[in-house]
Chain A
Amino acid sequence: MRKLLRALFDKMLASRIFYPVKPVVKAADDFFFGTPRVTSRAPHMLDNLDIKRYMSTVILALVPSAAASIVFFGWRAVMLIVVSYVAGGLVEVIFAVIRKKPVEEGFLVTGLIFPLILPPTTPWWVVVVGIVFGVFFGKEIFGGTGRNIFNPALVGRLFITIAFPQIMSTSWLPPFADAITAATPLMIYKSTHVIPPLWNLLLGQTAGSMGETFRLGVIAGGLFLMLTRVSNFRTVVSYLGTVAVLAWIGNLLFPAQVAPPLFQLLAGGLLFGAMFMATDPVSSCYTRAGKWAFGIGCGFFTVLIRSFSGYVEGVMFSIVFMNAFAPLIDQIVVRTKFRPMLKKS
């Protein structure tokens, strides 16, 4: 079986018919078979981690969320995930073919995260529009994975939030329910100041985006990512810590606008965003101090938008906003750490 597959790939890579789609064949080949190349100079041995395993660890950490979304919302969730993978994958493949560069693995994560941050009853064509926009404008025009400024999934989500406000604000659904639109806990709080039992939030018994409702799974996945060193604890701790502290202070000063800290932490997409999206290594800061600053900035804008703006949820806006500032923060950190050379005078 393995030999057959190997022979098939060798044939396809050698044949002329498949030449135009060579990046795709190459990607499939690399997916099934590891590299034959060996080190040419010191160091003679290398770490076993590669980008495929790095990204599949993220997918593994997303499994609880994805499974919960399928349990809660049924085949609809499966359909949205498949649609997202197919539409986004097509953009990725087209670009790989045009650029004659290998298909990059970062898409595997984007394609799964994107449907998980959507309301459950989002029509499939909105998903297509969102993921295509996100992958195209969020990633490919910058040069692909590793060079994007913004998190592609968030760019797509942001675009459809603004383009289809009607759909994106009324498609919420409580778990195990069909076609009964409901308000999310943050919406309810904004209008009536009612806080649902926190256990319901943790176990996902409230309305919300598909992947974010089962918060125990999100926390477990996030911890797994931090323990495997794939995501960095600095961003998560500073983001959640800032939200907690600011919500506590804000709740004391403006109890009418700012929700109490524990509810803020558990409501909305904060946990999902902090664990899986703010920690995206490419679009967040790369310096350690920058990671702390990035998290603090995200936390500040999240509380600000949630409490004092027309929107009920601010995680997406704050992360995209801070993505834009990440290079600047890094620059400041690097300049502070490594002082510019002075002329001898």
Chain B
Amino acid sequence: MKSVHLRRGYVFSRFAGAANIKPVRAPLPEKITIPLGSGYGKESPALVAAGEKVAAGQIIGRDDERIGSPVIASAAGTVGAVEKHAVVIETDRTAAPERFQGRENWETLSAAALGKILYESGITALGKDGIPSDYKSSPLAPSDLKHIIIHCLEDDAFNISWSALLDDELIRRSLTGVKILRAAFPSARLHLAVDRRLTGLRKRLEADGPDPAAVPVYSVAPKYPMHSHEVLIAELLGTDMPWGFTPIHMGIVVNDWQLLLHCFEAVVEGKPLIERLIALSGPGFRENLHVTARIGTPVSRIVNEYLRQDVTSRLVLNSPLTGERITDPERPIDHTFSQIIAIPEKTEREFLAFVRPGARRDSFSHTFLSSLLPVKKTADTNLHGDDRPCIYCGYCEDVCPVNIIPHLIYHNAVKINVAERLLQLKIFKCMHCNLCDYVCPVKLPLSEGIRQGQERLIEAGCDPTIGLQPYYDLDGFDAYRGKK
């Protein structure tokens, strides 16, 4: 098993509020809203009309001519309304639990047949740019796919706790999922990146897993932002990703461990992608657990039961560092959800905050007691400090996973803004993992400044999709300035 250790980056350890209970099933709401564009791809036109009866797993939106994947009804019921971007289904809560036709003999199926099953189950919409199939579910044809990277990492401050979830049954299912993926994409090489701390899974993969020569398994140190596709591709495959590229441009699909479970359910059990496993993490929840929720369930129906009442919490999708804020509690769950984090909003002005011992405070520096004590750390949304000019402490450079100097690029982008200088400092290498923002003691918005610099460069004529590194053609700039 190859060991992978990111040189820079940051280890988020011991945060209170990790989801650690076996999944519970969220109750089926009266009304589910299924977005017509769920996951990767264009919105599909609805195939159903208001008043029609639908079964769970039925395809209610499909367009094989445009890039995208079918939309699946996640519960049985009557179509209430077909809105512009979504289908509302009034669920039939008296119906018996749906049964799906399993396939005992899936191993005899061809790659094309497996691809069809994955497409019609809606699984091909998963991931940053979909999973290739013969039906335009992704910009790439399945035969052009070179690598599939599946990661099982707990490197963020809050994650789906695979360590708590993966029991024998789930590991068995995911091993079958590995077989399915290999059968469905015979041309692609599968890579499994497994967190170093998940010893149970790693042992099972060594014992019963696929041949390590064909499917390499990597033991990965849990350093943020290891799970991001830029870092995974660079560390596992050794190829740098030009800025503006997505993995699919390079014939690579990166996805998390849930894909394997979805593949097992779709192919072996015949159950399309109608449910997502969602971790409720963060100190804003009374109880931190994993919830299996139907796609289309409003966020509020899942979280309200478990939210703490004594604090107001901010709901963040998937990652506390890069995730977006969930402002609309009625937003339906879709394919992109894997975790909802509740971080308490702390607007109260803490008395003498900077001299407290800080046994439960996280910091990149070791100036808090928490670096000595094995105590769970808390998280909140407070800035924890005032804005000051940069003091060149070098923390941002120390943690930067792509080896650039964030504070230097920030100053150049915000104050000086000379295109050649920005390009020389490799501004387009930044992938916005936001780690520099996190560690900055003077609370500079480094990542945002770099983003502005990138946008200004693109406006000025840099084509982000051709990959500007390693050398930028200055002729283009001279022409832009009217010299030629």
Q: Say whether B266 faces chain A, with CB atoms less than 8 Å apart.
A: no
Q: Does A310 reach chain B (CB closer than 8 Å)?
A: no
**Complexed CA–CA distance, A145 and B390 (Å):** 9
- Give CA–CA (A339, B434) in the complex, Å: 25
8 Å CB contact of B367 from A49, A288, A342:
A49
Q: Are A339 and B424 in contact (CB under 8 A)?
A: yes
Report the separation of the CA atoms of residues A106 and B473 in the bound assembly, to the nearest whole angstrom: 43
Please choose the segment from B37-45, B121-129, B292-300, B347-355 that sits at the chain A interface, where 4 or more of its residues have CB less than 8 A away: B347-355
A283's nearest neighbour on chain B, judged by CB, is B392
Q: Please, how many angstroms separate the alpha-carbon atoms of A1 and B282 in the complex?
A: 33
Assess whether B424 is in contact with A281, with CB atoms less than 8 Å apart.
Answer: no
**Are A344 and B473 in contact, with the CB atoms below 8 A?**
yes
CB-defined contacts of B320 to chain A, threshold 8 Å: 43-45
A41 to B440, CA, bound (A): 15
Interface string of B393-422 (1 = CB under 8 A from A): 111010000000101100000000000100
Q: Which of B26-34, B140-148, B233-241, B357-365 lies on the face that meets chain A?
A: B357-365
Q: Is there a chain B Cβ closer than 8 Å to A37's Cβ?
A: yes
Q: How far is the CB of A60 from chain B (nearest CB, A)?
A: 9
Residue B437 at the chain A interface, CB threshold 8 Å: yes
| Least Cβ–Cβ distance between A209 and chain B, in angstroms | 26
Which of A37, A147, A230, A287 has the largest count of B CB atoms less than 10 A from its CB? A37
Using C-beta atoms within 8 Å of the partner chain, give the interface range for chain B: 35 or more
Q: Restricting to A228-263, which residues have a CB under 8 Å from any CB of B?
A: 228-230, 232
Residue contact B397 to A288, C-beta cutoff 8 Å:
yes
Contact A56 B354 (CB under 8 A): yes
Q: Which of B434-449 contact A (CB under 8 A)?
A: 434, 437-443, 447-448
**Residue in A35, A144, A340 whose beta carbon sits within 8 Å of that of B384 in the complex:** A35
Q: Shortest Cβ distance from A35 into chain B, in angstroms?
A: 5
> 1/0 per position for B145-164, CB-CB distance to A under 8 A?
00000000000010000000
A50 lies within 8 A of B389 (CB):
no
Among A95-119, those with CB < 8 Å from B are 102, 104-106
In the bound assembly, the distance between CA atoms of A48 and B320 in angstroms comes to: 15
Assembly CA distance A30 to B386 (angstroms): 8
A/B pair count, beta carbons within 8 Å: 208
Assess the B365–A146 pair: CB atoms within 8 A.
no
Q: How far is the CA of A144 from the CA of B351 in the complex (A)?
A: 26
A37 to B447, CA, bound (A): 19
- Please tell me which one of the listed residues A37, A104, A105, A144 contacts residue B383 in the complex, with CB atoms under 8 A apart: A37
Contact check: which of A33, A36, A104, A343 meets B475 at CB < 8 Å?
A343
The answer to whether residues A36 and B391 also contact, given A43-B320, A43-B437, A46-B443 and a CB cut-off of 8 A, is no
Is A227 positioned at the interface, with any CB of B under 8 Å from its CB? yes
Are A49's CB and B391's CB within 8 A? no
Please, which residues of chain B bring their CB within 8 A of the CB of A39?
381-383
User: A52 near B: Cβ within 8 Å?
Assistant: yes
With an 8 Å Cβ cutoff, the count of chain A residues facing the other chain is: 54
* A237 CB → nearest B CB, Å: 15
Knowing A227-B366, A281-B391, A281-B393 are in contact, say whether A45-B438 is a contact too (CB < 8 A). yes
Which chain B residues lie closer than 8 Å to A53 at the CB level?
354-355, 367, 385, 441
**B380 located at the interface, meaning its Cβ lies under 8 Å from any Cβ of chain A in the complex:** yes
Interface string of A165-198 (1 = CB under 8 A from B): 0000000000000000000000000000000000
B473 — nearest CB in chain A belongs to which residue?
A: A344
Q: Which residues of B contact A2 (CB under 8 A)?
A: 351
Expressed in whole angstroms, the Cα–Cα distance for A147 and B389 within the complex equals 8
User: Is A325 an interface residue when CB atoms closer than 8 A count as contact?
Assistant: no
- Point out the residues of chain A lying under 8 angstroms from B365, CB to CB: 47, 49, 54, 57, 228-230
Decide: B407 and A47 in contact? CB cutoff 8 A: no
Which chain A positions have C-beta within 8 A of B322? 42-43
Is B455 part of the binding interface, using a Cβ–Cβ cutoff of 8 Å?
A: no
Partner of A38 from B323, B383, B390 at Cβ < 8 Å: B383
Bound: A342/B475 CA distance, A: 10
In whole angstroms, how far apart are the Cα atoms of A282 and B389 in the complex? 10
- Taking CB as reference atom, which chain B residue is nearest A6? B349
Contact A51 B440 (CB under 8 A): no
Partner of A45, one of B157, B352, B391: B157
Given the known interface contacts A286-B394, A338-B424, the answer about A51 and B347 at a Cβ–Cβ threshold of 8 Å is no
Closest CB of chain B to A117's CB: distance in Å?
A: 21
- List residues of A (287-345) whose CB comes within 8 Å of B's CBs: 287-288, 334, 338-344
Q: Is the CB–CB distance between B443 and A341 below 8 Å?
A: no
Knowing A39-B381, A47-B364, A229-B364 are in contact, say whether A344-B441 is a contact too (CB < 8 A).
no
Contacts of B471 in A (CB 8 A): 341-342, 344
Is there an interface contact between A56 and B443, defined as CB atoms closer than 8 Å?
Answer: no
Q: Which A residues lie at the B interface, using CB under 8 A?
A: 2, 6, 30, 32-39, 41-54, 56-57, 102, 104-106, 143-147, 227-230, 232, 281-282, 286-288, 334, 338-344
The 7 closest A-B pairs by CB, nearest first: A50-B385, A34-B353, A146-B389, A34-B350, A52-B354, A33-B349, A48-B361
Q: A42-B434, A54-B393 are in contact. List 14 more A-B contacts (CB 8 A).
A: A33-B350, A35-B349, A39-B383, A42-B316, A44-B316, A49-B368, A51-B388, A145-B388, A229-B395, A230-B367, A232-B394, A281-B391, A286-B394, A341-B424
Q: Provide 17 A-B residue pairs closer than 8 Å at the C-beta atoms, listed in order of the A residue.
A: A35-B383, A37-B383, A38-B346, A41-B448, A42-B434, A43-B437, A46-B384, A49-B384, A49-B385, A52-B354, A56-B354, A105-B388, A106-B391, A146-B392, A228-B365, A228-B367, A287-B405
B residues in contact (CB < 8 Å) with A = 157, 314, 316, 319-325, 341, 343, 345-355, 358, 361-368, 379-386, 388-395, 397, 405, 407-408, 420, 423-426, 434, 437-443, 447-448, 471-475
